[in-house]
Every structure is written in structure tokens, then in C-alpha cells.
Structure 1
């Protein structure tokens, strides 16, 4: 499990491609892989991956075909920055919300609004996932636990403070970039249950 509190930015050193498999070789900031062993779980841009090898501050991960198809990991190349979070341990503070590291879909950044002290990012998700997106609800974007702002059909935004921009890759994103999305598990369970009972998505109150 993960908390959605990104622990820093790591760098892709190399991507070794093989049939149905990409091996990601990732360099982490000094001291961030202390105690990591082969078999440990680390979230890379929100995707739970297993450490297959360690060389100093460099970790190796294998991403299978299904992972490459569902996430943005197949688009990574040497030099790219990625958000990372090591798996939570019993007793750790949950500063965001509980995440599984299993990506549901991807979204495209369709608009970036910059103001003096924050940045607002607008995302577009596939229509099938729009029912799980609610104002003030939780969502994980590239592994970061964020609060949803406004929702317009299958588009939504989040507001990012300077610290979030500094500690994650959101500070360097551009329009057209794709991100990994993990919807809140409790929201998904409630929506699915109501759908099975024949209830549609609640209508938003008129402004």
C-alpha cells in the first residue's frame, strides 16, 4: 500500500526493451533507497513496481506488457523524471489517502493555468471513468494524492501549491502530457454499488 505522499523525483537512466517487457533503470536521490531489498515495492508515477536489482542509488524494475498498456510507463525514456514513493509500513502516517499502486487509466493534461502562488491543471479522462470523479473527492495522479477541484463532464482540475510543484514532476508538465490515474477505492465501490442498484450519478446542483 502507498499513501499518495510523493517522496521525491527520481530519474530514468535507461529503458531496456524486450518482447512484452521493459526494464526501467532508475536513479534515486541520495539516501532514498536505504534498506531497499530485491522484491520491495516502489511506486513509480503511481505504479507499483517490484525491485529486481539494486546498484547503489540505482534500482531496476520490470514492467510487464499489461502495465505498459495501462499506464504511461511505456512512454518513459532516459532522462525523464518520475515521482516515487516507497511502500508504506505499519505505523506510518497516512498523509494522503490509501493507494494500491494499481493504475486504472491515464488522463491527458488539457490546460494549465498559472497564477502567482499556485498552478491549476485540467485533465481529461476517458468517459468510462468520469463517474468516479467528484468535486472535493480524492484522486491519485502520477502517485500524488490530490483533491479534485472543479468537474466538467469528463474533465476535472486540481490546484497545486508551490511545495507540491517543487516535490513532484508537476512543476515541469506541459499541455498534452499524459499521467497515470488511480481513482479513490471507496468512491469506486460506492459508485459501482449504486450503479448495480439502478441509480445514476447524482446531478450537480445548478450554480
Structure 2
């Protein structure tokens, strides 16, 4: 039965991304999956609930990818950090997911998603930063809190509204973010510069 639920999510996610959340109906999802209406409603009571489940699944998968990057000890610390942060970039998974998450009526889901990210990601990333401290590449008296601050800032600044800025405004915010990271983690100038390519 779990496989059927995943199948519904797979098909619905593809449809939401390709034709838009508002333009996709339950009837279309039923037609695409070829499953009985009762079966779909056994798992989900609405289209919104399907999207919520897609986002929660994205979070779980992202956490797993972050862990994989952190554990690739044969790679340089910064490369692993970039890979880990890229795994948390919902932009690559489709604007529809982001739009749904940032819609006013989904404020609670948005808040819940951010709370999950802020409660879990620092813990996963901490060993990677610990390596950076031990290697002398970065330092701070408040390592865990610094990671939390990095994530909080990025979640607030690089949300869906960021994509509406012109290129000059985007560049300014990106450079400010990199500047703050280098101050917080007391790295050499330019240490985090390569993060810019993840955010554009």
C-alpha cells in the first residue's frame, strides 16, 4: 500500500511541476494514476494534502542527501558544504513547490518546514564544520549557533521573493551573505565565495 501512496505522490508532483498546482485537479491526478477515487482519498483528503506530503517527502530526501555529502570525507570541506546546501535548494525541484509553500494560506506549513530544517540541519552539518575548525579553516566560539544563524538567514532571504529581484539586487544579497559567513566563521576573505553559484 505504501508503494501506491508513493506512486500517487510521484505522479502528482510531476503534474504540479509541469502544469502548475492550481491548474491540476484531483480528477486529472486520478486519470493519470488510473487508481480508484476511494484509494486516493484513503491516503489524501485534498489536493493540498498531496502537496504537503510531497514537501515533507522532499525534506526527508534532502536530509539524506545532506548526510551523504557530509560523510564524503575524501572531498574538501567546502565542496562537501556546497553539496549539502545544494541538497536543500527547493528551487531546483520546481517553482510550484516553492509557490505552494509560500502561499499565505500555507503559512503554518511554511513555518513547520522551516522549523524542521532549523531543528535537524545544524545537527547534520555540525560534524562537517567541526572538521573545518580542526583544520584551522574556520573558527567561532559558538559553532552550533553560527550554523543556525546561517540557515535562518538563508531561509529568510533566499525565499521565493528573492527570485523576483533584479540581478544587481540578487548579487548584493549574495555578497552580503558571503561576507557575513566569513565574519561569523572567521575565515579568510573569499573562503565562501563559491557559494554564490548555488544561490543564483
* TM-score of the two chains, using structure 1 as the length reference: 0.26
Which structure dedicates a bigger proportion of its chain to helix?
A: 2
Q: Which has the higher contact order (CA 8 A, sep 6+)?
A: 1
Highest Rg: 1 or 2? 2
* TM-score of the two chains, using structure 2 as the length reference: 0.26
